[in-house]
Copies of this chain bind each other. A is one copy, B any other.
């Protein structure tokens, strides 16, 4: 009897081990393990299989497998405000002691008073003034050091952790899955190129030369015998909306076969991607998960947002053109790496 029990115990243990091990292997084998099963996940897998299958009429040579990703709201949160705006506001506060005139001058006064209403009233012109005051007037090397330091110290107001720890886990899995299948992954963001480059390799596995974004003008100067690139208070290029296909053409020179966005700012990038021939994948991250992240926009029956607007017209175009809308709430098992 004892030996019988022992045999039974061993069998149960063996079964348990094999189940646990089997599940682990399964999880390891699933490159999209943070995605719930369903049509959204299937769309990604089907597309990748099509374009990588040499016997498929939809086969695409590796060199042409370009995938472009918006950043804010697509790869990491854009709420309660764009991360770069949070950086700009922190910089204005840090620089304020050297600018006593800001105490009475808008939009700087609004920043120093934490007066979001006055800040909103300053509009786009005000935003440009804040960006110029916080992003220009130093060398590119100095700016990189400032951004790196800020990313290390700043914390997201709700999630209480570094912004660089808030990349969406399911999107990190798509990035890795595409690269494993011969894709070159690019960021194509309205954000500043030099604000993103210090972190994209570490956070997304995307090297600096694959980051397309907005730029300010820089000027080559020789200072004390050393060449530097100085950042000027002048906008060079805005990589948003109709600027995204322009940026893609200018920096990459190939049309993507896959594009990922989350707002009206990504519409033209998805249109441009979809207008090429052959198999294409266009996806929009839809923020409908107030509990784990954020929910907004008319398609949720909620007010829209300034930080990643998703109008009903975008939802309509997505449906009409076969763009896949990702429900954060329903399609994602987890939002971040650990929850």
CA distance A254 to B253 in the complex (A): 19
**Do A253 and B220 contact each other (CB < 8 Å), given the known contacts A226-B275, A229-B246, A275-B226?**
no
Name the contact of A253 in the complex, choosing from B197, B219, B252 (C-beta under 8 A).
Answer: B197
Contact yes or no, A193 B271, CB < 8 A: no
CA distance A209 to B210 in the complex (A): 9
CA distance A184 to B140 in the complex (A): 22
CA distance A184 to B76 in the complex (A): 29
Instruction: Report how many copies the assembly holds.
Output: 2
Is the C-beta of A160 less than 8 angstroms from some C-beta in chain B? no
Contact yes or no, A245 B227, CB < 8 A: yes
CA distance A243 to B226 in the complex (A): 17
Is the C-beta of A52 less than 8 angstroms from some C-beta in chain B? no
Name the contact of A242 in the complex, choosing from B184, B209, B219 (C-beta under 8 A).
Answer: B219
Residues of B close to A243: CB separation below 8 A: 220
Since A184-B209, A227-B272, A236-B250 are in contact, a sample of 17 more A-B pairs with Cβ atoms closer than 8 Å, ordered by chain A residue number, is A140-B249, A193-B253, A194-B253, A197-B253, A208-B253, A209-B251, A209-B254, A211-B253, A215-B250, A218-B249, A220-B243, A220-B246, A220-B268, A227-B245, A227-B268, A227-B271, A251-B251
Binding site for B on A (CB under 8 A): 63, 66, 140, 184, 193-194, 197, 207-209, 211, 215, 218-220, 222, 226-227, 229, 236, 242-243, 245-246, 249-254, 268, 271-272, 275
